[in-house]
A and B are shown apart, each in its own frame.
Chain A
Amino acid sequence: METMTTMQRKECVMDYVMKEFLEMYDDKIEYATPLVSSGLIDSFSMMSMLAYIQNTFEVKIPPGKATPEAFDSIDSIVALVEKYLPEKVGSEQKVMA
């Protein structure tokens, strides 16, 4: 998989959330918009999103870390993903360069 930047990852998650979970296509959210605590995404849907994220970013989120708090915004989701990306620092630096 081609290495992605943080912004690309956010866009990717944003696209998934908008397609899968927002009531209407016109509904707007920001990267910091609360998703779970606001009720926009319920805990059942959150687990589908976890599966999507693990697959898309080829990352394994450890047990106990996939909490509603960690999934509460696109910002926090991407931060969680990046925390557990294999060889995170090296790949990020490659892209930045």
Chain B
Amino acid sequence: MIFASIEFGLYIIIVFIIYWFIVRRNLTLQNAFLLTAGYVFYAWWDWRFLFLLIGVSTFNYLIGRGIDNNPAVEEGESIDAKAARQARNRKLLLVFGVIVNVLILGVFKYFNFFIDSFIQMVAVTGYDLPRSTTRFVLPVGISFYTFLSLSYIIDIYRDTIKAEKSLMNVLLTLSFFPIIFAGPIQRPSTLLPQIKTARVFTYDKAADGLRQFLWGAFAKLVLADQLAPFVADFFSNETYYSGSTLALGLVFFGIQLYADFSGYSNMAIGIGSILGFKLMQNFNYPYFGRDITDYWKRWHISLTSWFRDYFFMPLSFTISYNTNRKKVLLIRTDLFVFIVASLITWMLTGLWHGANYTFMYWGLINGVLLVVYYLQRKPRKELFRKYGINNNNTALVIFERFFNLGVILLGLVFFRADNMSHALSFFSEMFDASLFTIPQFIGMKRAMLTTLLCIIFFIIEWKGRANLYPLEKMGLKWEKPVRYAFYYLVILVIFMFGGAHQQFIYFQF
């Protein structure tokens, strides 16, 4: 059951009626219903993995309670033996919790990858090991709920939140159905208080949720699903098409990926609003970013901020804390810390997306780009001062936006390619003399129409870029009939074009 389906339409109507009209007066009952609804939603996809979800949630509940029962010790505080033992237990419980969560994710998501890589590595030495027959199926949403679980126990350890006493509240936090499959990865510090407080139905909030869902459905069904067959064709037959066609195909993929995932996120956040929740924003118009740093502050915010808070910062701190020299490997220590921590973090961010070297390289490329951007800031300032260039010059800003977009799209070849040789083949076919010819491909008329829809989509995104999603405030001051005509037009376009029903790209992560 995916959001943009008749099944889900019926499901959400039933959930809405029971949630707001039957169990509203009793918070515990309402949460119990939400938990059951979430498990039904998850089991609809694959009931076998529901037990894993319940097991992981219960495990993290117990670890959280254990950490909380062993108080932290302040730096420099004089403590007795019992307090020292508790502080040690606290740390051990956290380490144990993190290892178990990562192991579960590792086994289900990376087992096949590691085994295959090991066999390939051994094959280089001349020994051919038999291919493993054990293959693990990836439980949908595991990357997302594992990260949410890690946040939960790390936040308890850091004293950002208290361990939740109610098992049901933890189960619900880790299986909240709008976000269970592909995020946005919430922070327990913002989601748990909402679960523990009675939600109040307001027309404005529900209408806001519906608008956001509508915009997400438009992006997913009209753009992403329409673009998917073109992109699949370009990336499967790259030797057949001209360089210019492949370049256009790459632009199509960039739009498909954004429309698919931001569409999903807007639908998820919209459903959250309909149920009285406020969920974290996941996209902030990333393709309008001026540079690579700006882009990554706007793309998949819930994941990048997760890696920043739970991986990059502790890693940087550890490196920095253990380095007493002014320079490491001839590099200033502050730069060294940034470079090493960035590259490791982005490599893992890439690998998070999938067990494939292409994702790892994609992550590393982004890490390198971020480091290059970081290092060029000072020479850039010098240059601008020397030649009196205004940093906010409109032409410069536009140029930098398009340049940035080009760099991001090139990196996405690795994201989309099946393997490294496929990515390199795509590049070599794209960057030949035919790059400067007019693009030609089968289904030109449909491609032109899809391109037109993409342009309309980005015009609306640009006009609404100051808001959480483009339709948030757009049209609120229009006359009611005009506003509703606009909404119905969007719905009409969705029904006209939204028949392809492609899977959400991020469900595979």
Inter-chain CA distance A19–B338, complex, in Å, is 16
Given the contacts A42-B293, A64-B158, A54 and B320 also touching, CB distance less than 8 Å = yes
> How many residues on the B side are at the interface (Cβ–Cβ under 8 A)?
34
Given the contacts A51-B320, A51-B337, A42 and B312 also touching, CB distance less than 8 Å = no
Taking Cβ atoms with an 8 Å cutoff, the residues of B that contact A are 75, 158, 293, 297, 308-309, 312-313, 316-317, 319-321, 323-326, 332-338, 341-342, 370, 374, 377-378, 381, 384-385, 391
Quick check: B341 and A47 within 8 Å, CB to CB?
yes
Inter-chain CA distance A50–B337, complex, in Å, is 10
Quick check: B308 and A44 within 8 Å, CB to CB?
yes
Given the contacts A25-B385, A64-B158, A50 and B317 also touching, CB distance less than 8 Å = yes
Partner of B297, one of A19, A42, A52, A63: A42
Taking Cβ atoms with an 8 Å cutoff, the residues of A that contact B are 19-20, 23-26, 42-45, 47-52, 54-55, 60-66
Inter-chain CA distance A82–B476, complex, in Å, is 52
Quick check: A47 and B320 within 8 Å, CB to CB?
yes
Inter-chain CA distance A60–B75, complex, in Å, is 12
Partner of A66, one of B158, B317, B381: B317
Q: Kindly name the residue among A25, A49, A51 whose own CB sees the greatest number of chain B CB atoms within 10 A.
A: A51
Q: Closest CB of chain B to A17's CB: distance in Å?
A: 12
Quick check: A23 and B338 within 8 Å, CB to CB?
no
- Beyond the given pairs A43-B308, A55-B324, 4 more chain A to chain B contacts, judged by CB atoms under 8 angstroms and listed by A's residue number, are A42-B293, A47-B341, A49-B334, A51-B333
Cβ–Cβ < 8 Å partners of B323 in chain A: 51, 55
Cβ–Cβ < 8 Å partners of B308 in chain A: 43-44
Partner of A48, one of B321, B324, B337, B385: B337
A-B contact pairs, 12 of them (CB 8 A): A20-B377, A25-B385, A43-B312, A47-B313, A47-B316, A47-B338, A51-B316, A51-B337, A51-B338, A55-B326, A60-B321, A62-B75
Partner of A47, one of B325, B332, B337: B337
Inter-chain CA distance A64–B158, complex, in Å, is 8
Q: Closest CB of chain A to B374's CB: distance in Å?
A: 8
Cβ–Cβ < 8 Å partners of B326 in chain A: 55
Q: Which 4 A-B pairs have the closest CB atoms?
A: A47-B316, A51-B320, A52-B334, A51-B334
Nearest A residue to B339 via CB reads: A48
Nearest B residue to A64 via CB reads: B158
Quick check: B384 and A48 within 8 Å, CB to CB?
no
Cβ–Cβ < 8 Å partners of B342 in chain A: 44
Given the contacts A47-B338, A52-B333, A20 and B378 also touching, CB distance less than 8 Å = yes
